[in-house]
Amino acid sequence: MAEVPKLFKVTIDNITIEVAPGTTVLNAARQIGGDVTPPAMCYYSKLQGSGGKCRTCLVEVAAGSAADPRPMPKLVASCRTNVMDGMIVKNITSERVKDARAGVVEFLLLNHPLDCPICDQAGECHLQDLGYEHGKEGTRYEFSRRTFEKEDIGPYIQLHMTRCILCYRCTYVADQLTNNRVHGILDRGDHAEISTYISKAIDNDFSGNMIDVCPVGALTDKTFRFKNRVWFTKPVDAHRDCDKCCGKVTLWNRGDEVLRVTARKDQWGEVQSYDGKPGWICNTCRFDKKHLNDWVIEGPMKVNRHSVISANHYVETVKPQETIAEVMGGRQPRLMMDIHNISDVNKPGVHLSELPGPATGETFNPQQLNGSES
């Protein structure tokens, strides 16, 4: 008879779940999902050895195990701590965790340029999400922020070292996916930086995956640079037969134009796995196949409703419950107006989509509208 492997019981924020021995606290929390899952900026389940560095995933262990129920004195990195049978973990139910995590977020943003308005990562940046969910308003930092010399790391990838949070993910990609890592971390401490050795360009079939793992806008796709904001694009899942990689990608389109190709991401923002194998994509698929007819379109990408990218996408949405009638006790709301009718900015008669260029004041003929003022 095959032996049934014993499962470990772990309780995270009062929710108990059974997981296989060897599972980390973070992955156990991911199985529960929702708010119970600590944020992870450096851990990446598909990259061996990753994690432990950013400290955003710190949790409190209120009881080590059933056998030894003593609490752990320090907060631990949930991404690198394995569960024990009977372990009790506190994540958002722990004030200590919230306090330490807010501290980590502050540290991560301390020297960050906060240049989201001109950053291609905006909208899909994990640091934005982290700051929004776990950070505090304002900064207590009154010094000039760290800057770095710009460095060219080849034709496909743009490096913005000022945005890097030193999660080391890209170095693991280079170690584990390409046959020769030519970039790494030079220097140490707050002056450490990602660099290629003597500025040698990163030129390898799988190097583009560094862009996908980078949680911030430190590594972005040069072929997509400044082309569009992600939330204006229409992401669709597509595939092609590729002899180098799985060929399963997301195309980020505008009209018939393929602006960007990325690997498909799972709900944790990681590259999706197929049959247990991470779906990394090759540079040919990523950078050279920019025509719709290179691809077999599968359908719209599933976008999390909470993501800014979901703006204007109505796929898989559920019609919200009609609450107004309920609130109003059956009476009809009195004030309902058509914004177009009262706005003097917009004129229903002007068809924006038919303009040759962007709309300007001229388009709406302001003199005529506000004649009294001119």
Partner 1 sequence: MGRKLLLDKAHIENIRFYDVYRREGGYRSVEKALKTMAPDVVTDEVKKSGLRGRGGAGFPTGMKWSFLAKPEGVPRYLVVNADESEPGTFKDRYLMEFIPHLLIEGMIVSSFALGSKRSYIYIRGEYAWIVDILEQAIAEAKNNGWLGKNILGSGFDCEIYVQRGAGAYICGEETALLESLEGKRGNPRIKPPFPAIKGLWDCPTVVNNVETIAAVVPIINEGGEEYAKIGTGKSTGTKLISACGNIKKQGVYEIDMTISVEEFIYSDEYCGGIANGKRLKACIPGGSSVPILPANLLLKTAKGEKRMMTYESLADGGFATGSMMGSGGFIVLDETQCVVRHTYTLARFYRHESCGQCSPCREGTGWMEKILLNIEKGKGKMSDIDLLWDIQRKIEGNTICPLGDAAAWPVAAAIRHFRDEFEWHITNPDDAVRRNYGLMHYADILTVVAS
Summarize as ranges the residues that interact with ligand FES (CB under 6 A): 40-43, 51-57, 77, 79
Query: By CB under 8 A, is residue 226 in contact with partner 1?
Result: no
Q: Which is nearer to ligand SF4, 90 or 126 (CB)?
A: 126
Closest among 12, 11, 13 to 93, alpha carbons compared? 13
Of 86, 123, 184, 269, which one interacts with partner 1 (CB under 8 A)?
Answer: 184
Query: By CB under 6 A, is residue 213 in contact with ligand SF4?
Result: yes
141 binds, among ligand FES, ligand SF4, partner 1, none (CB under 5 to 8 A by kind): partner 1
Which listed range, 213-221, 243-251, 337-345, 361-369, lies at the site for ligand SF4 (CB under 6 A)?
Answer: 213-221
Helices and strands, number each (H, E), in the chain: 9, 15
| Contact (Cβ atoms closer than 8 angstroms) between residue 135 and residue 114 | no
Residue 131 DSSP one-character state:
H
Neighbour count for residue 360 (Cβ, 10 Å): 9
Query: By CB under 8 A, is residue 53 in contact with partner 1?
Result: yes
Query: By CB under 8 A, is residue 58 in contact with partner 1?
Result: yes
Q: Which is nearer to partner 1, 34 or 71 (CB)?
A: 71
Closest among 54, 53, 40, 212 to 121, alpha carbons compared? 212
C-alpha torsion 83→103→190→161, nearest 10: 90
Q: Which is nearer to ligand FES, 24 or 158 (CB)?
A: 24
As given in the structure block, the two tokens for residue 202 are: 């990163």
190 binds, among ligand SF4, ligand FES, partner 1, none (CB under 5 to 8 A by kind): partner 1
Q: How far apart are the C-alpha atoms of 306 and 294, rounded to whole Å?
A: 31
Query: By CB under 6 A, is residue 271 in contact with ligand SF4?
Result: no
Query: By CB under 8 A, is residue 309 in contact with partner 1?
Result: no
Report in angstroms how near the CB of residue 38 gets to ligand FES at its nearest.
Answer: 7
C-alpha torsion 29→32→33→37, nearest 10: -20
Q: How far apart are the C-alpha atoms of 62 and 96, rounded to whole Å?
A: 11
Query: By CB under 6 A, is residue 216 in contact with ligand SF4?
Result: yes
Report the SS3 class of residue 106: helix
Report in angstroms how near the CB of residue 217 gets to ligand SF4 at its nearest.
Answer: 8
Residue 202 DSSP one-character state:
-
Q: How far apart are the C-alpha atoms of 196 and 352, rounded to whole Å?
A: 46
* Alpha-carbon dihedral sign for residues 61, 136, 30, 280: negative
Query: By CB under 8 A, is residue 202 in contact with partner 1?
Result: no
Q: Which is nearer to partner 1, 186 or 325 (CB)?
A: 186
218 binds, among partner 1, ligand FES, ligand SF4, none (CB under 5 to 8 A by kind): ligand SF4
Residue 219: which region, alpha, beta or left (left: phi > 0; alpha: psi -120 to 50)? beta
Residues found near ligand SF4 in the complex (CB under 6 A): 164-170, 194, 213-216, 218-219
Residues found near partner 1 in the complex (CB under 8 A): 51-56, 58, 73-75, 77, 80, 99-100, 103-104, 106-108, 110-111, 140-141, 143, 165-166, 168, 184-185, 187-192
